[in-house]
Structure 1
Amino acid sequence: MASCQNQTSKTPAIDPANFDLSVAPNVDFYQYATGGWQARNPLKPEYSRFGSFDVIAENNQKRINDLFQEMTKLDAAKGSVEQKISDLYKMGLDSARLNAEGAAPIEAGVRELLSLTDRDRLTEAVARLHHTVANPFFGVGVQADLMNSDVNALYISQSGLTMGDRDYYLEPENENIRTAYKEYLKKIFRLAGLPEAELDKAVAGVMDIETKLAEKSWSNVELRNIPAQYNPTKRADFEKTYDAVDWAAYYKAMGIGDFETIIVTTPSAIAAANDLMKNAPIEELRYYLAAQYINAAASYLSDEFQQASFDFYGKVMSGQQEQKPRWKRAMSVPNGTLGEAVGEMYVAKYFPAEDKARMTELVKNLQKALSQHIAALDWMSDATKARAQEKLSAFTVKIGYPDKWKDYSTLEIDPAKSYWENIVGANEWYTADNIAKLGKPVDKDEWHMSPQTVNAYYNPTTNEICFPAAILQPPFYNPDADDAVNYGAIGVVIGHEMTHGFDDQGRQFDKDGNMNNWWTEEDAAAFKAKTDVLVKQFDAIEVLPAKDGQPALHANGALCLGENIADQGGLRVAWTAYHNSLEGKEKPAPIDGFTPEQRFYLGYATLWAQNIRDEEAARLTKLDVHSLGKWRVNATLRNLQTFYDTFGITDGPMFMPEEERVIIW
């Protein structure tokens, strides 16, 4: 894949060096198709997982870093995006300045939080953090109203767990992670200047607050239940129910104007936060708020802070052995903070017009194929099929980059201020930008990924599929490849995002993006019966064996259900689209000994080639709605008769009896 940087040579569509021919396709197709890739791409110390996505991401990082380095040589006008990008980048690189400043950039903020003795000042402290750097106790933000998707509404959601997921606080098998987290808290409190005698008390206070929040937080599976999270509440009733906050002062501090209704997503978690704010010891509350602040700042301070953060989040939680090089860390900040400004430069240099035209054609072909699949379903009524076809035809398709770019003219980056002060200012800008949307029409032209992001998405409230420019590189899209490989790669990605409109979550939204049950009861029951089979298939997967007294770790079929539905749908729809494209043409001859059908499935498997550390596999199994790469290939393909036919599979570990398989879309 590195050869894609050499403009004089072509990137091979299927690289034989990726294979592990010691393994038969019917034993472990993933290993057969990608084992050679894994052997040639051992994990570098900076990675906890490295796969095909990361190959492109690394290529992009180099491209973007080249753009940034060019900018640092310019005499950019103050207030220009070039000035903002280059100054933010240079501040991230300046380790001498960061180390000389030490904890100074956060001293005033920490001191103020630790001086909190009056519960009446709690609202002010929480609002300040919400507006700038963290979301202790809960989070408030604006997005489309799920029942009226043309208008932006105010939401309040659970938040405030520094480890990110409730299970880290509650499950016995995570005791080692909790121990490491306590050491991390002690380390950053010490670096921030807390007296040694206070450290244990401070850590205990933070753990007490966060554990109590965790006990009432919703699990990741529960958070996939969208209707359960739609609890519109009149403003007066909301303020009466959650009375620990001085809401008038909070709204003022956050810049929230008039509204009639707020949507409470996780009532039990918000109630727990409310109870803690009213009744927890004030000393614990101030330690908790200070920890939230210091943790948010750690990655933008001295090497000691950055190392402490990495030692916990990188080493313990993900298994990384070394931090990413400073240039990558520095580059990622302006790339995220001024994402569309960077994206505008990126597409001007790296995204040819013919790529957009080819993607537009592919999307139309995939849409036609999905329409055929809907029409042919044997488990869905004609009435529901008609509504599904309406939704499919109403898809908005976004390719490459937005038609209008985000305006960053009011976002200030000032090199006279500390790196952390600039990060705080940028966060304030984004909070204000989000809150300003309250009550206004949803901007359906807005993008939720930058063009240089190696990913794609489906958004149910706008019924749109989006494919940023950066994903259109090998192995996802290869202009040098035959159609079979490209349909098996980018074609499956397109079909995957389309299928999200009809997965267990997406199906709950209509063609206009409103949460609306357009299914008959019988069709909904038939759909659930099929998805229950898929859940059980993935629940049976052993991700990691039992070890050192810890039980075996299994995949979570309910957590990954939407993505698993979309993987299967993407494969089936792309297969149909590819064969549609051959109508009236002579069937292509084999290439390198592989039929077009075989190349389709090999192209798909190549997308998920990766190496991963056990710690990261465990973390992602707990948190990520996507299955691990191996199972996105092996577990999904086991349901597809076309896969068996293509490789002549009639037995072996890859083979699943027909009566155990499930086909949804």
Structure 2
Amino acid sequence: MKIKTNLFIASGLLSAVLLTSVPVKAQLKKANDPVYQNLDPSVKPGDNFFMYANGGWIKKNPIPNAYSSWGIGNVVGEDLRERLRKINEDAEKANAPKGSNTQKIGDFYYSGMDTLTIEKLGINAIKTPLNRIDQIKSKQDVLDVAAYLTTIGARTFIGSGVGQDAKNSVKMVLQFRQSGLGLPNRDYYYKTDARTTRIRNDYAQQHIPTMLKLSGLNDATAANAVFTIEKALADSSRNLVALRDPYKNYHKMPVAKLNRLTPNINWVNLLPKLGLNAVDSVIVGQPEYYVELDKALTQFSVADWKAYLRWKLVSSYASYLSKDFEQENFRFTGTVLSGRKEQLPRWKRVLDTENGLMGELLGQLFVKEYFPAASKKRYVDMVEAIRAAYREHIEKLDWMSPETKQKALAKLNAIHPKVGYPDQWKDFFALQVSRTSYAENVLNGRHWQYEENIHKLGKPVNHAEWNMTPQTYNANYSPSNNEITLPAAQFMIPGVKDADVDDAVAYGYVAASTIGHEITHGFDDQGRQYDAKGNLKAWWTPVDSAKFTQRAQMLVDQFNGYKVLDSLHVNGKATLGENIADLGGIVLGLDAFKKTAQYKEGKTINGLTPVQRFFLGYALGWLGHTRDEALANQILTDVHSPGYLRVNAPFSDVDEFYTAFGIKKGDPMWIDPDKRVKIW
């Protein structure tokens, strides 16, 4: 997956990159040149290319108080949020028929902006699930209520969902994963460095007690029990690296075996409480977590578990309750964890929530107004240009056998691209939205999402379904579907008209940074373990697999050497898949660009050669900077390397980069030729 920002943004595509050939404009004004205007000429390309390419912009654009990072995605998002705001405000005033998309959008937005009602309701906005918790009297009640809370999107100790069977991708099966933590992952409960210790102490000693007190439970013992339960569950939870091994996170078993694994949990009785009936087998990602959960159910009292479930409910809904809940939630999650100094304006927060719950419904209205169907073809053409480049790369590999090459080519040819927006939209008929309560609308939306997911159990895989919305500034690869999803918004460059974006920049910004990146995910350390039909299956010869692993280890070692903050280094193993995809995307995008007229003509624009502009176009995709708090959180929880290293690190492995910018031995970005990583 390619993540540039935590914000959703939508695509108006009035400033989108044209992916068909664009005439080179030698007289393009420097102020309108999307790469020239961001340069910092005081930095040498060989010292820190990211800052050379983007430093001029970074100096002029400090991170606003409401954000933990600020970059290209945010800039585009500010403009596009305004367009979404107009759609919502128009829908709010439309007096649309009940049950229509317009009514649901307008009423949701109204309820989120109706702070008088939100303050009046306070904790009573979630009174129904709170009453369920208060009525718990036994351990069986604990399990039953946890199941109910799971169905309304509270983050309980049950991590269930329906998805494709990794070893039989045509089957939709019930899966269980580790869950139940309130901090971002297990490392936050056990690392002893000063930064993590400070966050953990705040969470346990201030955040949990404050939120429970606001909810009506002023009990230090209860707050301590919540943290103790979470720490016990964290002890059996896998870390970021361990979660990336698809074989070790695949344990298919009959429900009866799961019952034996957890003797205090009768799953035959509990599954119907989750809305799941006639389930005969499950896939358990991390069995040791459920073994520990089973033990914890006997170790902790009913009162302790009631406090835990109250905490899970309140923390999951705090952003949609009265100001006291919302502010404490932001103090910890926004400021302590991410370094933000103030919240976004309310209308933006409501839009973000709406997009997360009913984004495809919003997307239907959005693309109708702002994204013409004809634009799709441009992006499909570039996908095929990258696919053609990848075929050539595979055929020329000197380390892969003909047998594995044949299967790799078959998988490449089978990759299905989803571009722009869905051909089939989701049906939101069953979603209930009114102006009565914002929290209730969120609850209904989460329950609708849950029901939509579990109803896939046992049904054929819907390959027309999208897992992202058109207005998302992101893209991804699905190994089980062997497909890439490229939302319309991902192709935008802020403030630049289509005609002013030359192919060099487009191929760096789009073909390399997004399309080539996502296709390469099909052949990274995880994706390569799935065959052309999306099944987890060994299709490499053992020798080829060993050669790939040797080359990938070079990339692990390279990234392990990058120190980001204090004593924090990049985790080369955890970020390996993304780092392979970045490197693959760059070399594929460059080779595809070499077939364009602009590359062959070789004319400069504002003193920059076509190849220089390609590399600058790629760097533009990672334009931005991040607060230290958010950067530290990313290192511990994210499989993506920091943005600046997604430019500097892979460029140091690409020979053409050295030639294009005259990088010499002794420059900080220099890597000796025999140590440069070459995989695909």
Letter in 2 for 1:201: T
Give, in whole Å, the separation in 2 of the partners of 1:129 and 1:239: 21
Give, in whole Å, the separation in 1 of the partners of 2:362 and 2:86: 12
Letter in 1 for 2:251: N
CA contact (8 A) 1:335 1:342 kept: yes
Give, in whole Å, the separation in 2 of the partners of 1:266 and 1:467: 31
Match of 2:559 in 1: 538
Q: Does 1:575 align with 2:598?
A: no
1:143-542 pair list within 5 angstroms: 143-173=163-193, 174-182=196-204, 183-195=206-218, 198=219, 200-416=220-436, 418-474=437-493, 478-492=498-512, 493-542=514-563
Which among 559, 566, 569 is matched to residue 554 of structure 1? 569
CA contact (8 A) 1:79 1:409 kept: yes
Match of 2:23 in 1: none
CA contact (8 A) 2:471 2:488 kept: yes
Q: Offset of 1:190 from its aligned partner?
A: 1.2
When the two structures are aligned, how many residues end up with a matched partner? 652
CA offsets 1:150-208 (integer angstroms, 9 cap, x no match): 1101101100101120111111122211121121111111111123xx2x111100011
CA contact (8 A) 2:249 2:285 kept: yes
SS state at 2:594 partner: helix
Q: Offset of 1:13 from its aligned partner?
A: 4.1
Letter in 1 for 2:216: G
Match of 2:3 in 1: none
Give, in whole Å, the separation in 2 of the partners of 1:261 and 1:109: 29
CA contact (8 A) 2:432 2:444 kept: yes
Q: Offset of 1:6 from its aligned partner?
A: 8.8
Give, in whole Å, the separation in 2 of the partners of 1:407 and 1:207: 40
Which among 94, 97, 100 is matched to residue 114 of structure 2? 94
CA offsets 1:291-340 (integer angstroms, 9 cap, x no match): 00110110110111110110000000000000111010111222222211
Distance 1:107 1:260, change over 3 A: closer
CA offsets 1:355-387 (integer angstroms, 9 cap, x no match): 312111111111000111111111111110110
User: Can you give the 5+ residue segments of structure 2 that lack an aligned partner in the other structure?
Assistant: 1-10, 17-27
Give, in whole Å, the separation in 2 of the partners of 1:586 and 1:496: 24
CA offsets 1:17-45 (integer angstroms, 9 cap, x no match): 31111111111111111001101211000
SS state at 1:144 partner: strand
Give, in whole Å, the separation in 2 of the partners of 1:410 and 1:4: 31
* Identical-pair percentage: 38
User: Can you give the 5+ residue segments of structure 1 that lack an aligned partner in the other structure?
Assistant: 546-551
CA contact (8 A) 2:161 2:454 kept: yes
Which among 15, 38, 45 is matched to residue 65 of structure 2? 45
CA offsets 1:473-503 (integer angstroms, 9 cap, x no match): 1169945211111001101111000000000
CA offsets 1:107-145 (integer angstroms, 9 cap, x no match): 453344244331121221111111112232231110011
Give, in whole Å, the separation in 1 of the partners of 2:131 and 2:154: 17
Report the TM-score, using the length of structure 2 for normalisation: 0.93
CA contact (8 A) 2:129 2:149 kept: no
Letter in 1 for 2:143: T
CA offsets 1:65-97 (integer angstroms, 9 cap, x no match): 111111111011111111111111111111121
Q: Does 1:633 align with 2:655?
A: no
Match of 1:656 in 2: 671
Q: Offset of 1:265 from its aligned partner?
A: 0.3
CA contact (8 A) 2:142 2:302 kept: no
Give, in whole Å, the separation in 2 of the partners of 1:554 and 1:79: 51
Report the TM-score, using the length of structure 1 for normalisation: 0.95
CA contact (8 A) 1:206 1:291 kept: yes
CA contact (8 A) 1:144 1:461 kept: yes
SS state at 2:639 partner: coil
Which among 46, 53, 73 is matched to residue 93 of structure 2? 73
Q: Offset of 1:210 from its aligned partner?
A: 0.2
Letter in 1 for 2:518: E
Give, in whole Å, the separation in 1 of the partners of 2:373 and 2:542: 46
Give, in whole Å, the separation in 2 of the partners of 1:333 and 1:506: 31
SS state at 1:229 partner: coil
Q: CA RMSD in A?
A: 2.0
SS state at 2:404 partner: helix
Give, in whole Å, the separation in 1 of the partners of 2:263 and 2:450: 24
SS state at 1:373 partner: helix
Q: Which of structures 1 and 2 has the larger relative contact order (alpha carbons within 8 angstroms, sep 6+)?
A: 2
Q: Offset of 1:12 from its aligned partner?
A: 3.2
Give, in whole Å, the separation in 1 of the partners of 2:499 and 2:240: 39
Distance 1:135 1:274, change over 3 A: farther
Give, in whole Å, the separation in 2 of the partners of 1:542 and 1:146: 35
Give, in whole Å, the separation in 2 of the partners of 1:222 and 1:502: 19
SS state at 2:536 partner: coil
CA contact (8 A) 1:608 1:629 kept: yes
SS state at 1:514 partner: coil
CA contact (8 A) 1:26 1:655 kept: yes
SS state at 1:456 partner: strand
Give, in whole Å, the separation in 1 of the partners of 2:126 and 2:222: 17
CA offsets 1:593-632 (integer angstroms, 9 cap, x no match): 0000000001111111112100000001111111111100
Match of 2:661 in 1: 647
